[in-house]
């Protein structure tokens, strides 16, 4: 498999506290990679490094390299990078504007203004995020009026509308009920033909159900990375085994 | 202390607090009733719609009403961009936390300075040094400086309540800092700007000292643009002028009644805006 994102010897410090310790990892294209590990092990930190959301945090120091499509992400224009490497957050965070404007926000940001084009992009993104039928009659209504699960799918639509290549998802279902969760899992598996998805999850079953590859983090280190099936059935590292069998974390 | 003494003590304290509360309430009511009773009967259409003329022995406060509106408009037009701009810079861009804290502290102090000092400085800087003379513009500029801290602080407080997740959402879509602020952050802090404006309008309505120095006491009827370069008195200044210089207490009380109603309306507006936006935020 061809890697689309590559991290090499990636270390990251928040002030003097090290959160990532020499992470080296290749993310295969058009697949779903799950990041698992106990709380505080650096999964979100790693994810946010890939689209440089850590730039917003003060006192962050990074060494090592991250490349996206062969280019050093720290040397590319950050807005262009985030257009190609989109993000869905743990808590649904639609903007306090209409459903339509939420989805159109990204395309408008990147210079698409013609109403005809926007209409088409918005509809396609909402269809791809499996929420079109629920919202097509209320596109002009405030997005904050949607349910939590709908809001999260709207946020996925909003991310898809800028046509990213990679979608980073940080525990996208942890704030949702079981039904919304399974809808989003289903959605994610459908999206992998066209997108590369990297998803943090605390839910082992979810990792097994949806992901092709799994990376196990512990205390800022990448302990093990491999095909989900083999990682869960024959873990190489003792610590991975302990974790996936529920002996800690 | 025996328990009897303690009970007596408790009752005394309670009685004192009661008296204090009753006295305060009575004072407010008495003041409002007194001003209204002396002022309202003299509010006539002629008073509201004409200018004072010694030739026809007529009293009119239309110029003062207009001057008040002009000076509020001029001050707000200048102070809103300045105050909002400063607030956005301090909360969203400034890196040096110490400098930000120092500026915020200075703003607190500025809003506590007696307004007559603003008047003095305004007169020297705007009227004399910049050569604006005694004019509504010099007055408006003085008011801008007086109200800048108010607008800045209330915008800042409101900016801080805009959830970080909105900013992250916008950045995550590849929006730049300015676009994020313009489209996601600023719309979320309109309430702070409006609250600041209402407070400022209330303050401008009640201002006399700073304007006596800078805008003068003339009572001529002017259009917006001539008014800016001409001296002119607002309602509050006119109140002072009619009472103190002319002994025209009927006019003075009529103005006082009008000002009281206006400040009541402004308080209501402030409460309404706060509640309206709180409800929207809770959604
Ligand atoms: N903005 C920050 N400033 C300082 N330290 C941080 C910051 N964000 C995270 N950390 C620290 O970095 C470490 C890794 O945090 P991170 O959020 O990446 O963990 P995580 O694996 O995502 O945990 P969880 O499963 O609980 O979300 C933790 O020790 C955390 O306290
Ligand atoms: Mg996390």
Sorted by sequence, the CB contacts under 8 Å of residue A159 that are 6+ apart come out as A86, A87, A88, A106, A167, B172, B173
Q: Hunting for tokens 């002119």 — which residue is that?
A: B232
Contact B169 A93 (CB under 8 A): yes
Give the tokens for residue B227. 């008014």
The residue-averaged pLDDT of B180-191 equals 90
Contacts of A249 (CB under 8 A, 6+ apart): A37, A38, A39, A243
With contact defined as beta carbons under 8 Å apart, do B182 and B235 qualify? no
Q: What is the pLDDT of residue A110?
A: 94
Task: Name the pLDDT band for B101 (thresholds 50, 70, 90).
Answer: very high
CATH code of domain B46-282: 1.10.3720.10
Q: B27 to chain A nearest CA, in Å?
A: 46
> Which among A73, A27, A40 is positioned nearest to A54, based on CA atoms?
A73
Contact status, residue A224 vs residue A218, Cβ threshold 8 Å: no
Q: Tell me, what's the pLDDT at A249?
A: 54
Residue A246 or residue B163, greater confidence: B163
Percent of chain B whose pLDDT exceeds 70: 98
- What lies within 8 Å, CB to CB, of A63 at 6+ separation is A9, A10, A11, A12
Is the pLDDT at B279 greater than 70? The verdict is no
Give pLDDT tens digits along chain A (249 positions): 689 999 999 999 999 999 999 999 999 999 999 999 999 999 999 999 999 999 888 899 999 999 999 999 999 999 999 999 999 999 999 999 999 999 999 999 999 999 999 999 999 999 988 899 999 999 999 999 999 889 999 999 999 999 999 999 999 988 888 888 888 899 899 998 899 999 999 999 999 999 999 999 999 999 999 999 999 999 999 999 999 888 765
Q: Which of B94, B158, B167, B169 to mutate to test the interface with A (most CBs of A within 10 A)?
A: B169
Q: Are B236 and B115 in contact (CB under 8 A)?
A: no
Please report the DSSP string for B33-51 in residue order.
Answer: HHHHHHHGGG--HHHHHSE
Q: How close A159 comes to chain B (CA, Å)? A: 7
Question: Can you give the pLDDT at residue B270?
Answer: 83
Residue contact B171–A82, C-beta within 8 A: yes
Q: What is the pLDDT of residue B282?
A: 53
Calculate the alpha carbon distances from A35 to A173, A176, A192, A197, B9 in Å: 14, 19, 16, 11, 69
pLDDT of residue B112: 87
Q: Helix, strand or coil for residue A197?
A: strand
For atom 7 of ligand 1, the residue with the nearest CA is A14
- A18 vs A155: CA distance, rounded Å: 31
Determine the 3-state secondary structure of A129 from DSSP. coil
Distance CA A237, CA B70 (A): 77
Cα–Cα distance measured from residue A166 to residue B277, given in angstroms and rounded to the nearest whole number? 37
Between the CA of A198 and the centroid of ligand 1 the distance, in Å, is 17
Question: Cβ–Cβ of B188/A94 closer than 8 Å?
Answer: no
Centroid of ligand 2 to alpha carbon of B82 (angstroms): 39
Residue-level pLDDT at B56: 81
Q: Considering only CA atoms, which of A65, A31, A3 is closest in space to residue A214?
A: A31
Atom 2 in ligand 1: residue holding the nearest Cα = A14
Residue B116, both tokens: 């007559």
Give the CATH architecture of domain A3-98+166-244.
3-Layer(aba) Sandwich (3.40)
Q: What is the pLDDT of residue A16?
A: 93
Q: Using the mean position of ligand 2's atoms as its centre, give its distance from the Cα of residue A249 in Å.
A: 14
- Per-residue pLDDT band for B85 (boundaries 50, 70, 90) equals very high
Residue A177 has what pLDDT? 85
Q: What protein residues have CB closer than 5 angstroms to ion ligand 2?
A: A 44
Least confident span in A7-11, A225-229, B7-11, B168-172: B7-11
| Closest chain A C-alpha to B108 CA, distance in angstroms | 27
- Please tell me if the CB atom of residue A143 comes closer than 6 angstroms to any atom of ligand 1: no
Cα(B283)–Cα(B279) distance, integer angstroms: 7
Mean pLDDT of B30-39: 93
Q: Is the pLDDT of residue B271 over 90?
A: no
pLDDT tens digit sequence for B200-230: 999 999 899 999 999 888 888 888 888 888 8
Give the helix/strand (H/E) hosting A8.
Answer: strand A3-14
| Closest alpha carbon within chain B to A159 | B173
Give pLDDT tens digits for B19-34: 999 999 999 999 999 9
Q: Give the per-residue pLDDT at B280.
A: 63
Residues 6 or more apart from A21 whose CB is under 8 A from it? A11, A219, A220, A221
Task: Tell me what pLDDT residue B224 has.
Answer: 83
Is the per-residue pLDDT at B60 higher than 80? yes
- Supply A240's token pair: 């991975």
B173 contacts A53? CB cut-off 8 A = no
pLDDT of residue B226: 84
Chain A: nearest CA to B283, how far in angstroms? 7
For ligand 1, atom 1, which residue shows the shortest CA distance?
A: A57
User: Does B3 contact A at CB distance below 8 Å?
Assistant: no
Is the shortest distance between the CB of A152 and ligand 1 below 6 Å?
no
Instruction: Tell how far the Cα of A47 is from the centroid of ligand 2, in angstroms.
Output: 9
């Amino acid at each position: 498999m061809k890697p689309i994102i590559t991290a090499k010897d990636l270390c990251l410090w928040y002030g003097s506290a090290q959160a990532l310790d020499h992470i080296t990892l290749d993310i295969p294209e058009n697949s779903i990679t799950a990041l698992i590990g106990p709380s505080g092990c650096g999964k979100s930190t790693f994810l946010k490094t890939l689209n440089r959301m850590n730039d917003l945090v003060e006192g962050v120091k990074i060494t090592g390299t991250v490349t996206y499509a062969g280019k050093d992400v720290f040397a590319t224009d950050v807005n262009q990078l985030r257009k190609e490497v989109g993000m869905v957050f743990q808590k649904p965070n639609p903007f306090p504007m209409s459903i339509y404007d939420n989805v159109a926000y990204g395309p408008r940001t990147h210079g698409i203004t013609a109403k005809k084009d926007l209409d088409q992009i918005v509809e396609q993104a909402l269809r791809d995020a499996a929420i079109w039928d629920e919202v097509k009659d209320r596109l002009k209504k405030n997005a904050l009026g949607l349910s939590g699960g709908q809001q999260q799918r709207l946020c996925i639509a909003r991310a898809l509308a800028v046509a990213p290549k990679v979608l980073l998802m940080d525990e996208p279902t942890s704030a949702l009920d079981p039904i919304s969760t399974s809808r989003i899992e289903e959605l994610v598996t459908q999206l992998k033909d066209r997108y590369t998805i990297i998803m943090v999850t605390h839910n082992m079953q979810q990792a097994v159900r949806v992901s092709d590859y799994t990376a196990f983090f512990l205390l800022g280190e990448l302990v093990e990375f491999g095909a989900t099936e083999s990682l869960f059935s024959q873990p190489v590292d003792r610590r991975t085994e302990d974790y996936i069998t529920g002996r800690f974390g | 202390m025996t328990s009897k003494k303690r009970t007596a003590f408790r009752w005394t304290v309670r009685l004192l607090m009661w008296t204090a509360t009753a006295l305060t309430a009575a004072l407010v009511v008495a003041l409002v009733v007194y001003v209204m009773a002396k002022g309202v009967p003299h509010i006539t259409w002629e008073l509201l719609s004409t200018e004072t003329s010694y030739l026809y022995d007529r009293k009119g406060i239309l110029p003062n009403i207009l001057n008040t509106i002009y000076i509020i408009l001029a001050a707000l037009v200048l102070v809103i961009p300045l105050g909002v701009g400063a607030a956005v810079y301090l909360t969203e861009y400034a890196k040096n936390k110490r400098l930000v804290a120092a500026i915020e502290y200075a703003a607190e102090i500025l809003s506590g300075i007696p307004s007559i000092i603003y008047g003095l400085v305004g007169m020297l800087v705007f009227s004399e040094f910049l050569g604006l003379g005694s004019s509504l513009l010099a007055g408006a500029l003085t008011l801008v400086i007086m109200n800048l801290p108010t607008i800045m602080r209330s915008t800042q407080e409101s900016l801080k309540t805009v959830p970080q997740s909105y900013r992250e959402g916008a950045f995550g879509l590849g929006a730049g800092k300015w676009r994020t602020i313009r489209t996601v952050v600023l719309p979320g802090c309109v309430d702070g700007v409006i609250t600041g404006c209402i407070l400022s309008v209330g303050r401008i309505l009640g201002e006399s000292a700073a304007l006596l120095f800078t805008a003068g006491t003339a009572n001529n009827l002017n259009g917006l643009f001539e008014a800016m370069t001409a001296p002119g008195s607002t309602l509050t200044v006119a109140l002072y002028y009619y009472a103190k210089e002319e002994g025209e207490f009927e006019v003075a009380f009529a103005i006082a009644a009008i000002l009281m109603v206006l400040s009541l309306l402004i308080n209501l507006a402030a409460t309404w805006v706060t509640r309206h936006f709180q409800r929207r935020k809770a959604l």
